[in-house]
Structure 1
Amino acid sequence: MQRDAKIYVAGHRGLAGGSVLRRLRQLGYSNLLTKTHADLDLVDQNSVDAFFAAEKPEYVFLAAAKVGGIHANNAYPAEFIRDNLAIQTNVIHSAWKHGAKKLLFLGSSCIYPKHAPQPMPESCLLSGPLEPTNEWYAIAKIAGIKMCQAYRRQYGFDAISAMPTNLYGPGDNFHLENSHVMPALIRKFHEAKARGDREVVMWGTGAPRREFLHVDDLGDALVFLMDNYSGEDFVNVGVGDDVTIRELAELIREVVGFEGVITQDLRKPDGTPRKLMDVSRLTALGWSARIGLREGVKETYRWFIENQDGFRR
């Protein structure tokens, strides 16, 4: 990408999209195009088409999506499949229709089967049943991958897809029910410490293993892929290592400085037993993550403390 190329980052206020925008600015890209939801509703096909017709971005990072943790996926299945299908269909089609040179579609590791081989290679997509608690979101994201592949095959559109593992970092959603596991635990431990509580209740058994990628590493990887990869196969983006949820909770307790105990609510679901990415394809292209988990958790907690007054319950 030329430094003055017109680049549209869809979902720039989200965790992933914000990381792409920061990385582009760090690298000196000056012609960056963003729209808030109030300015452009990506679910509205006519509005999206009009936007692309008027602006004609050369490159598109499609990081916009309706996202949430286990509770949100279970509570709002219709919204998760409907809105995500609409967003990606509208943006991918309009980008191709109005002459974008390249598009990067951002998916999620939840596309893989619940009992996928570990670490998960890209080749195991559609090889088994999905995790029931997030299948609505996963099916939408799988459709996005296939749409990019179909537009490449039929129209020659340079649409690529990247599948990140679990993300965390500054700007995350710290809602106690609708967030992902790391920000939820950070907030739980912080508020328990502030109240002087003796315990923090953790969902599930703590046995599932998860991989965590700092969002600034993601932004760097996505810009790298836009510049260095053009292919039909999607690419996993992760760190290639994982921890149990219990180990994560212990690390967060230490970083926050909470001195009580951790108890478990075994009525809550665990989700997929393990989700570790096989990142050999990305490594072979020349990219690897740089931010360690402890360093990343410390940075994320600092950001939480500085911004907690603006969070909703």
Structure 2
Amino acid sequence: MKLTDKIYIAGHRGMVGGAIKRRLETLGYQHIITRSSAELDLRNQASVNAFFAAEKPDYVFLAAAKVGGIHANNTYRAEFLYDNLIMEANIIHAAWQQQVTKLMFLGSSCIYPKLAPQPLQESSLLTGPLEQTNEPYAIAKIAGIKLCEAYRDQYGCNFISVMPTNLYGIGDNYHPENSHVLPALIRKFHEAKEAGKPAVTIWGTGTPKREFLYADDLADACVYLMLHYDGKELVNIGTGEDLTIRELAETVKEVVCYEGNLEFDTSMPDGTPRKLMDVSRLHSLGWKHSTGLKEGIVMAYADYLKKSRLTLNA
């Protein structure tokens, strides 16, 4: 991937796509192609085909997706399945038609079975039932992986797939209902601090264990693999380290400087008991994360405060 190559980032306004764009710009790539959803509806096959025919990108980072936490995944099941299926299918097919040099598809750790052995190995894919609350999203992501494999097998396309763990960072979604656990906790603790609330309620028991990767670390890994990996096998991207939701909440509480108590609503679902990625393949390829969790949460909280000020001043 040369600095003069045309690189299309699908989903550049999202947290992941934005981080990839920042990383490429930092490295000096000169021809980064982006389109907002208002400019290009990725669910429209004719529009996607016309865009690829006109721009003819050399490389594609497929980071566009409809995403959300447990509540959103479970509530908008049809949208999460349809939108993600159709977007990835349109982009992957157009990339083949226009002879894109290389495409990277970004999946999610939710593709693995709910009770797969920990840490989650790439070989665990399709070996058991999925977590019910986010099954539609997971099925769409699995289809994307299999599309990349099929186009590689049938047409010889250099399409690769990576599976990020739980992500957070600059540009995250802090919606009170549709956000993931870490940004949701940042918002909850900040609002509780501002309102002087004596306690913050956390969904579930606090016992599930999760792994978290700072989005800019993911972007660095994606660019690294785009440069150095051409294999058919998918690659997990994570830290290889996890902690309980209770421990995560305590860390966010400390960063936000909230002095109240934690309360756990055990009537709400926990989701998968544990999700830790086996990152031995990634490490063997020469990449490791560099941002510690607390350091990353400090930067994420600063981004949240910046967003909040912009909203108030709008």
Q: Under a length normalisation based on structure 1, what TM-score does the superposition of the two structures give?
A: 0.99
Query: In 2, Cα distance between the equivalents of 1:75 and 1:224?
Result: 36
Aligned to 1:250: 250
Aligned to 1:182: 182
Matches within 5 A, 1:142-153: 142-153=142-153
RMSD: 0.9
Q: Conserved in 2, the CA contact under 8 Å of 1:175 and 1:311? A: no
Aligned to 2:115: 115
Query: In 2, Cα distance between the equivalents of 1:170 and 1:222?
Result: 17
Q: Give the drift of 1:310.
A: 4.9
Query: In 1, Cα distance between the equivalents of 2:17 and 2:159?
Result: 17
Aligned to 1:73: 73
Matches within 5 A, 1:114-133: 114-133=114-133
SS in 2 for 1:23: helix
Question: Do structure 1's residue 300 and structure 2's residue 300 form an aligned pair?
Answer: yes
Q: 1:193 to 1:212 in 2, by over 3 A?
A: same
Q: Which amino acid aligns with 2:161?
A: S
Aligned to 1:50: 50
Query: In 2, Cα distance between the equivalents of 1:291 and 1:239?
Result: 9
Q: Give the drift of 1:99.
A: 1.2
Aligned to 1:223: 223
Aligned to 1:164: 164
SS in 2 for 1:48: helix
Aligned to 2:9: 9
Query: In 1, Cα distance between the equivalents of 2:128 and 2:196?
Result: 46
Query: In 1, Cα distance between the equivalents of 2:208 and 2:287?
Result: 27
Aligned to 1:233: 233
Aligned to 1:40: 40
> C-alpha offsets along residues 18-62 of structure 1, whole Å, 9 cap, x if unaligned?
111000000000101000000000000000000001110000000
Q: Share of identical aligned residues, percent? A: 62
Give the aligned length.
Answer: 312
Q: Which amino acid aligns with 1:201?
A: T
Q: Conserved in 2, the CA contact under 8 Å of 1:7 and 1:60? A: yes
Q: Give the drift of 1:269.
A: 0.5
Q: Which amino acid aligns with 1:180?
A: H
Query: In 2, Cα distance between the equivalents of 1:16 and 1:160?
Result: 17
Q: Give the drift of 1:266.
A: 1.2
Query: In 2, Cα distance between the equivalents of 1:270 and 1:110?
Result: 14
Question: Do structure 1's residue 104 and structure 2's residue 88 form an aligned pair?
Answer: no
Q: Give the drift of 1:100.
A: 0.5
Query: In 1, Cα distance between the equivalents of 2:303 and 2:89?
Result: 34
Aligned to 2:277: 277
Query: In 2, Cα distance between the equivalents of 1:214 and 1:293?
Result: 8
Query: In 1, Cα distance between the equivalents of 2:200 and 2:154?
Result: 53
Q: 1:168 to 1:128 in 2, by over 3 A?
A: same
> C-alpha offsets along residues 256-306 of structure 1, whole Å, 9 cap, x if unaligned?
111110001111110000000000001000000000001001111111111
Aligned to 1:30: 30
SS in 2 for 1:296: helix
Question: Do structure 1's residue 86 and structure 2's residue 80 form an aligned pair?
Answer: no
Aligned to 1:261: 261
In structure 1, list runs of 5 or more residues that go unmatched: none
Q: Under a length normalisation based on structure 2, what TM-score does the superposition of the two structures give?
A: 0.98
Query: In 2, Cα distance between the equivalents of 1:63 and 1:260?
Result: 38
Q: Conserved in 2, the CA contact under 8 Å of 1:174 and 1:311? A: no
Q: Give the drift of 1:309.
A: 3.9
Question: Do structure 1's residue 289 and structure 2's residue 298 form an aligned pair?
Answer: no
Q: Give the drift of 1:252.
A: 0.6
